[in-house]
Amino acid sequence: MDMEAIPVIAIGGSTAVAIAVGLLFWFFQRHQTAQPNHLPPVPEVPGVPVLGNLLQLKEKKPYMSFTRWAEAYGPIYSIRTGAISMVVISSNAIAKEALVTRFSSISTRRLSKALKVLTADKTMVAMSDYNDYHKTVKRHILTAVLGPNAQKKHRVHRDIMMENLLNQLHTFAQKSPQQEVNLRKIFQSELFGLAMRQTMGKDVESIYVEDLGTTMNRDEIFQVLVVDPLMGAIEVDWRDFFPYLKWVPNRKFENTIQQMYTRRQAVMKALIQEHRKRIASGENLNSYIDYLLSEAQTLSEKELLMSLWEPIIESSDTTMVTTEWAMYELAKNPKIQDRLYREIQQVCGSEKVTEEKLAQLPYLNAIFHETLRRHGPVPIIPLRYVHEDTVLGGYRVPAGTEIAVNIYGCNMEKVVWENPEEWNPERFMVEGDETQSLELQKTMAFGGGKRVCAGSLQAMLISCIGIGRMVQEFEWKLKGKAAQEDVNTLGLTTQMLHPLHAIIIPRK
């Protein structure tokens, strides 16, 4: 409290004593609240005045810096990003404490300005606070798209997607033998088609966007709905770090993000209008939009639009990142690829790898889990906000602090993972019993607790079947020297710096 700011007034002696006692009581109560159980504060990473640790986080891969600092300052430490205090967690045990045990104290989000705009102020499951709205829209998406029963209903769409993918790979191998295929280009396009069929009932080749006065082709639609928002999500507004200066204009940033938002809204609005025309003509496609229009009539137009956009962007990106990394590692490690092929041959014979066979393919599952651990698509869980004083890792964490759970750092934790830098699927095979794999949650790849990722089942099904089918039908090789292993942050996910280019040889 700034004592100079308190006005000097004439008061009686008894009143002064009462006020003094009240102030002392307030001070000690506040002191007690700020120090639960008199625990020590979280260790701090030294920074500079005003800026804190901002200059040390200039790269757009903060999870790397966070992991390096964990080696020096421990699995939990605090940093300052301008005026904001942030606690960074790079430990499986403390991450689970934050996501599960202390969930009630840190269940809300504090979004950057870019994310606040792009998510229409938290109007989507992944970025909303844990409240009634979150529970409602999550129930909708699990019921109609991502839950077990919905996944059974959408099995036909996944099968179509997988056949399209393999057919394109066979066509390429036949027409361009010994040439390198760009897996990302083909796979990402097919994932986008799957997302559109599940959400809007059918894929789209082009659409007239009335609000923009133009017709967009499929690539342009993908750019607006997926690529631009992912890039916009990591746009930095310096005012995020200095909230007391939020009144200062930052026109270039504001215009860039607002344009992304406006174009995305216009395209989604056009897709919804197109679907309503199909409904009026009597066409029923049994998709997510059909479900929402009939079962979620309490949603506003903006909430409906965001609910439909969310499965499109999420289905089109993270699964691609995981599958591409897995195929890169298999192409780089022919012995592991051969072992997987032999397992598939033993279980499936001449039949194709199917979802029913996954439980009998432990090594395939181990490859999926290990890829999630070593190359997890979401390296940092979207920031949480501590709205009441709490305790983490034996330290006191005051209200107002941001929490960054560094999933990448958790999966590089040497006390949990032996030689964590090495990609080794063996670590997910139970010793002495190769018919089982360790639990998925150990990697923290899909978060944990009440906010565990709703799309984990779909991601596992698509990625595992994709990896299995591509190894079953092709031998994968890297041309010459193995591609440089590097990542580039694209929105909220990590992906290979360059798309995977590999030689594929059809198996006899």
Q: Which tens digit of pLDDT belongs to each residue from 452-490?
A: 888 889 999 999 999 999 999 999 999 875 555 555 555
State the average pLDDT over residues 249-253.
93
Give the whole-angstrom CA distance, residue 183 versus residue 474: 13
60 pLDDT higher than 90: no
pLDDT tens digits, residue range 14-56? 434 333 444 444 444 444 444 455 899 999 999 999 999 998 8
User: DSSP for 155-174?
Assistant: HHHHHHHHHHHHHHHHHHHH
Q: What is the mean pLDDT of the chain?
A: 86
Q: Distance from CA of residue 281 to its chain's centroid? A: 38
Secondary-structure breakdown of the chain: helix, strand, coil percentages, each rounded to the nearest 5: 55, 10, 30
**Cα separation of 307 and 271, whole Å?**
13
Q: Assign 397 to helix, strand or coil.
A: strand
State pTM to two decimals: 0.86
Q: Is 410 annotated as a binding residue?
A: no
Query: pLDDT tens, 150-205?
Result: 999 999 999 999 999 999 999 999 999 989 999 999 999 999 999 999 999 999 99
Burial (Cβ within 10 Å: 0-12, 13-18, ≥19) of residue 37: exposed
Spatial contact of 438 and 91, defined as CB atoms under 8 Å apart: no
What pLDDT is stored for residue 485 in this prediction?
Answer: 54
Q: What is the CA radius of gyration of the chain?
A: 26
Phi/psi of residue 209, each to 5°? -105, 100
* Contact call for residues 491 and 234 (beta carbons, < 8 A): yes
Q: How many residues does the chain have?
A: 508
The answer, yes or no, to whether residue 1 has pLDDT greater than 60, is no
Handedness of CA 283, 284, 290, 295 (dihedral sign): positive
Strands of the 474-477 sheet, one edge to the other: 180-182, 501-506, 474-477
In whole angstroms, give the CA distance from residue 371 to residue 373.
Answer: 5
Q: How far apart are CA 197 and CA 288, in angstroms?
A: 9
The pLDDT assigned to 34 comes to 42
Mean pLDDT, residues 329-350: 96
3-state secondary structure of 446: coil
Q: Which residues of 360-378 are buried (b: 16+ CB within 10 A; e: fewer)?
A: ebbbbbbbbbbbbbbbbbb
Nearest Cα to 268, choosing from 467, 470, 120?
Answer: 120
> Would you tell me the crossing angle of helices 301-315 and 288-295 to the nearest 10 degrees?
160
In this prediction, residue 486 carries a pLDDT of 53
For residues 429 and 364, the answer to whether their CB atoms sit within 8 Å is no
Q: Which of 272, 290, 316, 341 is nearest to 490 (CA)?
A: 316
**Rounded Cα distance, 87 and 380, in Å:** 13
